[in-house]
Amino acid sequence: MFNGKTFLAVIPARGGSKRLPRKNVLDLAGKPLIAWTIEAAKQSKYIDHFVVSTDDQEITDVSKKFGAEVLTRPGELATDAASSVDVVLHAVNAQHKQYDYVILLQPTSPLRTSQHIDEAIELLFEKNANAVISVCETEHSPLWANTLPEDGSMDNFIREEVKGKRSQDLPTYYRLNGSIYICNIERLYKENNLITERDVFSYKMDRRSSIDIDQRVDFEFSEFFLKKYDV
């Protein structure tokens, strides 16, 4: 609880993963990937309750071992087509008590800590926001990027207003890092979106803490940093 408001955290973890099979339970620097997020949720000063939403028995067993309550997700919410919003709403509706805010914590962000979560919650009230979403700086400016035609031609690849400029002279761009989504539950019901139409603010995280594990290389980067900095 913070400022008299209550917080439910939802950790979504499907059994299926095409690019990195069984990633949620793979050993990462000494513990299963999902355990890093479970421990961050447990250590938060403000989260009142958290659940792991899964369709998978092994993820269920591992989550319970690390102290999480597990909510069995129905099959229609465990497909590639299922949306995060539907998974979150299923978890919210399954609770025996009402909460003011829901926090989506994806287990693929193992370097996100309880400090990040708590700072994002504090920012929520500092900004009087409906939602707070974590972001980080883009690795490269999107102004240096473009689509390519089939023949690979780079004619007009870089726009005229960008040519000749140094990267440090370009504006700073940010991207969603997938780590923290906090949303007022009443607004979530009304808009069916974790990113509300108004009064949504960014919580900025550094790029190292923003690693989102999708492929093997992301997993290896995460393991390197977790061991190097003894997180």
CB 218 within 8 A of CB 212: yes
* Burial class (CB within 10 angstroms; exposed 0-12, middle 13-18, buried 19+) of 98: exposed
Query: Does any domain span residue 145?
Result: no
Q: In this structure, how many other beta carbons lie within 10 angstroms of the beta carbon of residue 194? A: 20
Question: Could you count the other beta carbons within 10 Å of the beta carbon of residue 113?
Answer: 19
pLDDT range class, residue 78, cuts 50, 70, 90:
confident
Question: In the chain, what percentage of residues exceed pLDDT 70?
Answer: 100
Is residue 190 in a domain? Answer: yes
> Residues 142-176: pLDDT tens digits?
998 999 999 999 999 998 888 888 888 889 999 99
The answer as to whether 122 is a domain residue is yes
Residue 60 lies in a domain: yes
How much is the average pLDDT of 175-204?
Answer: 97
Q: Kindly state whether residue 205 falls inside one of the protein's structural domains.
A: yes
The answer as to whether 48 is a domain residue is yes
Mean pLDDT of the 23-27 span:
95
pLDDT of residue 124: 98
Q: Against a cut of 0.75, is the pTM above it?
A: yes
In a domain, 92, yes or no: yes
Can you give the chain as a three-state secondary structure string?
CECCECEEEEEEECCCCCCCCCHHHCEECCEEHHHHHHHHHHHCCCCCEEEEEECCHHHHHHHHHCCCEEEECCHHHCCCCCCHHHHHHHHHHCCCCCCCEEEECCCCCCCCCHHHHHHHHHHHHHCCCCEEEEEEECCCCHHHCCCCCCCCCCCCCCCCCCCCCCHHHCCCCEEEEEEEEEEEHHHHHHHCCCCCCCCEEEEECCCHHHCCCCCHHHHHHHHHHHHHCCC
CATH code, domain with 128: 3.90.550.10
Residue 184 belongs to domain spanning = 7-138+173-228
Query: Is residue 222 in a domain?
Result: yes
Mean pLDDT computed over every residue of the chain: 94
Whether 231 shows a pLDDT value over 70: the answer reads no
Number of domains the chain contains: 1
Q: Say if residues 84 and 77 touch (Cβ distance below 8 Å).
A: no
* pLDDT for position 162: 86
d(CA 45, CA 118): 7
